[in-house]
Structure 1
Amino acid sequence: MSTPAPPRRTTQGWVIGHVAGAPVILAPSWLLAVAVLTALSVPAARALTGLDGSAVWVVALAFVVLLFVSVFLHEVAHGLVARARGQQPHEFVLTLWGGHTAFGGAAPTPATNALVAIVGPAVNLALGALFGVLLVLDVAPRGTVVWALLWSGAVTNGFVGLFNLLPGLPLDGGRVLEAVVWAVTGSRYTGTVAAGWVGRLVAAGVVVWALWVPVSGGGGDVLDVMWAVLIGAFLWAGASGAIRGARAQRNVEGVTVESVGHRAVTVGHADSLAHAGSVAAAAGVADVVVLAPDGRPAAYVDRAAAASVPPQAAGTTPVTAVSVPLPVGATVDGTLVGQELLRDLARATRLSPVVVALVDGRVTSLLHANEVVAAIRA
């Protein structure tokens, strides 16, 4: 029995373990997050415990570690539910902005999309409630380090859970909104774009709020404003990226040989350039594929080279003299569409940047890899 290949790792960093068959990675930016958040947490740690000096820094660091443990559990919840629904997580990553979970593919249904999204914030809200109950039960005296950690766990988990439920991409609430619109319209593209635009509104709202609170006398300092603006910028970038990704995916789904290829005719390897030109003109096409004696597509006519041959010499110029050889296997199935066609193209274009489309063994088109990429990005 063969062993399945491990998920492909795409993020650089330190692997600290594996969960659900996927690596847990600390990205280099995570260290910056720990340093900055620890410094920002010192005033709160001092106010909650009355400590000072190095001790208050240790408590502040404990706040940050507790926060990232909560973020890690949030991401693991995404991964476990996704795996149960048929989506294999590829990696769990802790970064400057918290964390993310990468999957091998998109959710197959709106229900899976919503369930995978909502379980993360649900875990944080459950943790926040647990810490809150422990506070209410007075399991630790007020002002102690344990009490401060419980307070930090309740507040940070509550904030992370509620913030992630905001209905805009790239937040989890945006994934839920995406799933709802997808289910109603039947279009994943429509759901993603709608949730992306709402995400842009959420990002703009965060920035406006950050600038308005100090002006309105609601407190806050320059550092708070800068941090909120950075978060808003991150959310805007994530929402915009989701919209661009949806458009690219829509283009992928619409890819056919007819939409990205050039119709072509075939001639024999012993034919002249003049004959090839007349066959192409009669069919109303510009591309010509040269067949080998066994009928295999062996080359294609280079238009620029053919145009450089004087008309009076075309009748005596072998078509192979102005052709580019095609390796064996530089063909795709012309009946495929969308992602399946792109996978076949990826295989064939490793052999040649120009490939031939075949339908029932008959040449129908020439496809240029650069033109296919341009069509997807358009």
Structure 2
Amino acid sequence: MPGAAYAGPVSDQPRPARRTSGWVVGRVAGAPIVLAPSWVVAAVVLTVVLAPAVRGWAPGMVGARVYVVALVFVVLLFASVLVHEIAHGLVARARGQQPQEFVLTLLGGHTSFGAAAATPGTNALVAVAGPVANLVLAGGFLVAGLAVGRDQLVGVLLLAGAFSNGFVGLFNLLPGLPLDGGAVLQSLVWAVTGRRHTGTVVAAWCGRLVAVGVFAVAFALPFALGGRPTLTDAVWGGLIGAFIWSGASGAIRAARTQDAVDQLTVERVGRRAAAVGHTDSVAQARAVAAAAGAQDVVVLAPDGRPAAYVDVAAASSVPADLAGTTPVTTVAVTLPGGAVVDGTLVGPALLDALGRASRHSPVVVAVAHGRVVGLVRVPDVVAALRA
């Protein structure tokens, strides 16, 4: 498997806004092209691994020129991977997804976006764009290589570029996440079932099967054919198989999280709350909460805005004989402005609103149709998503 490189689209889940560490070498479609430090390792290793092949292509070549030619081929290989990733980004941008970065890494590259594809069609088109770009490049290299001829070193390099691009394009069309073919399968199942979560889980399990297949081809097939796997094939087969298995497993975990986000409601992550006026007593607050079956109490300002919430422990410590004369504000925690969300929101919209509100306070009031309906605490949201 010398010269093989993985190239794939963004995962089903959006990546964090923080940029991957590495060197920015340019920008395309408003996103940086990043060379990760591991890319240098890959370039050096591939150059050394390919040097014997270059000697076979050009027996008369000796010395440093062998490694220069090998390095040129490696650069062409990763340039092809970059074209693959840029194709993802350009199609995504045309479909309303803004790419965040294009990254070249040890095993190839990936493209990340700020948000997942909104529809199965967009998801499939973005995914298939990368392999199509490689197959087009493979055709171009093949025509040019045949025109130059295999007796010329340039022709051999062009034909090797045709093989590499053809391999990258076809390999990435295998039907399993995190490969592009897996994203196409994910989109198909998503379109049929109407659930992104189902599509992701099916495609991710297929990705695990692909990983097992890569291991089998790299290690078991040579023995079945009466030989032994080469060190190069064993190393690359192991790395790529492990990477695909890891990516598929990550997709399954991400799908569970996404499913939890899609089902997010105030009722799931919050506690029912009732509202009282700022002049009411602790006894009145207790009575209002009991009548509404609420677990929390929100104190309203004179203008009707949620201004505070009752500290349950502090309120419980007030003796019954003093509750009628103790102002509820004495056992309340002030809420800063902005610590309010629309209680009718669900799913990602609710999570986004809670994220903005939690910048002001770890406790957020949910208001629906002008009425306080719940109190949401950030740790409860995190626990619900993890569960």
Superposition RMSD in Å: 1.9
Point out where structure 1 has 5 or more consecutive residues left out of the alignment: 1-6
Q: TM-score, normalised by structure 1?
A: 0.92
Aligned 1:7-46 pairs, distance under 5 A: 10-46=19-55
Instruction: State whether residues 264 and 347 of structure 2, in contact with CA within 8 Å, keep that contact through their aligned partners in structure 1.
Output: yes
Give me the whole-angstrom Cα distance separating, in 1, the residues matched to 2:150 and 2:243: 39
Q: TM-score, normalised by structure 2?
A: 0.90
The answer to whether the aligner puts 1:152 opposite 2:160 as a matched pair is yes
Corresponding residue for residue 206 of structure 2: 198
Task: Please report how far the alpha carbon of residue 328 of structure 1 lies from its aligned counterpart in structure 2 after TM superposition.
Answer: 2.0
Task: Please report how far the alpha carbon of residue 208 of structure 1 lies from its aligned counterpart in structure 2 after TM superposition.
Answer: 2.5
Aligned 1:142-221 pairs, distance under 5 A: 142=151, 144-216=152-224, 217-221=226-230
Aligned residue pairs total 370
Instruction: State whether residues 256 and 336 of structure 1, in contact with CA within 8 Å, keep that contact through their aligned partners in structure 2.
Output: yes
Give me the whole-angstrom Cα distance separating, in 1, the residues matched to 2:41 and 2:155: 27
One of 302, 310, 324 as aligned partner of 1:293: 302
> Secondary structure of the equivalent of 1:324?
strand
Extract structure 1 runs of 4+ deviating beyond 4 A: none
Give me the whole-angstrom Cα distance separating, in 1, the residues matched to 2:67 and 2:317: 76
The answer to whether the aligner puts 1:66 opposite 2:65 as a matched pair is no
One of 78, 88, 95 as aligned partner of 2:88: 78
Give me the whole-angstrom Cα distance separating, in 1, the residues matched to 2:314 and 2:49: 67
Instruction: State whether residues 173 and 180 of structure 2, in contact with CA within 8 Å, keep that contact through their aligned partners in structure 1.
Output: yes
Q: Say which structure, 1 or 2, has more relative contact order (CA 8 Å, 6+ apart).
A: 2
Corresponding residue for residue 66 of structure 2: 56
- Once the two structures are superposed, residues 49-103 of structure 1 have per-residue CA deviations (whole angstroms, 9 ceiling, x without a partner) of 1223211111111111010111111111111222222222222111112111112
> Secondary structure of the equivalent of 1:245?
helix
- Give the share of equivalent positions with the same residue, in percent: 64
Give me the whole-angstrom Cα distance separating, in 2, the residues matched to 1:295 and 1:184: 47
Task: Please report how far the alpha carbon of residue 8 of structure 1 lies from its aligned counterpart in structure 2 after TM superposition.
Answer: 5.8
Corresponding residue for residue 248 of structure 1: 257
Task: Please report how far the alpha carbon of residue 133 of structure 1 lies from its aligned counterpart in structure 2 after TM superposition.
Answer: 2.6
- Once the two structures are superposed, residues 188-223 of structure 1 have per-residue CA deviations (whole angstroms, 9 ceiling, x without a partner) of 221111111100110111122222134333442234
> Secondary structure of the equivalent of 1:105?
coil
Instruction: State whether residues 78 and 119 of structure 1, in contact with CA within 8 Å, keep that contact through their aligned partners in structure 2.
Output: yes
Corresponding residue for residue 356 of structure 1: 365
Give me the whole-angstrom Cα distance separating, in 2, the residues matched to 1:294 and 1:19: 51
Q: Compare 216-225 and 28-37 and name the one that shifted more.
A: 216-225
Give me the whole-angstrom Cα distance separating, in 2, the residues matched to 1:240 and 1:171: 13
Corresponding residue for residue 4 of structure 2: none
Instruction: State whether residues 363 and 377 of structure 2, in contact with CA within 8 Å, keep that contact through their aligned partners in structure 1.
Output: yes
> Secondary structure of the equivalent of 2:19?
coil
> Secondary structure of the equivalent of 1:166?
coil
> Secondary structure of the equivalent of 2:303?
coil
Q: One-letter code of the match for 1:115?
A: L
Give me the whole-angstrom Cα distance separating, in 2, the residues matched to 1:282 and 1:124: 66
Distance 1:295 1:59, change over 3 A: same
Instruction: State whether residues 9 and 90 of structure 1, in contact with CA within 8 Å, keep that contact through their aligned partners in structure 2.
Output: no
Instruction: State whether residues 252 and 376 of structure 1, in contact with CA within 8 Å, keep that contact through their aligned partners in structure 2.
Output: yes
Q: One-letter code of the match for 1:94?
A: L
Corresponding residue for residue 321 of structure 1: 330
Give me the whole-angstrom Cα distance separating, in 1, the residues matched to 2:136 and 2:300: 67
Instruction: State whether residues 22 and 92 of structure 1, in contact with CA within 8 Å, keep that contact through their aligned partners in structure 2.
Output: yes
Give me the whole-angstrom Cα distance separating, in 1, the residues matched to 2:150 and 2:215: 38
Point out where structure 2 has 5 or more consecutive residues left out of the alignment: 1-15
Instruction: State whether residues 338 and 357 of structure 2, in contact with CA within 8 Å, keep that contact through their aligned partners in structure 1.
Output: yes
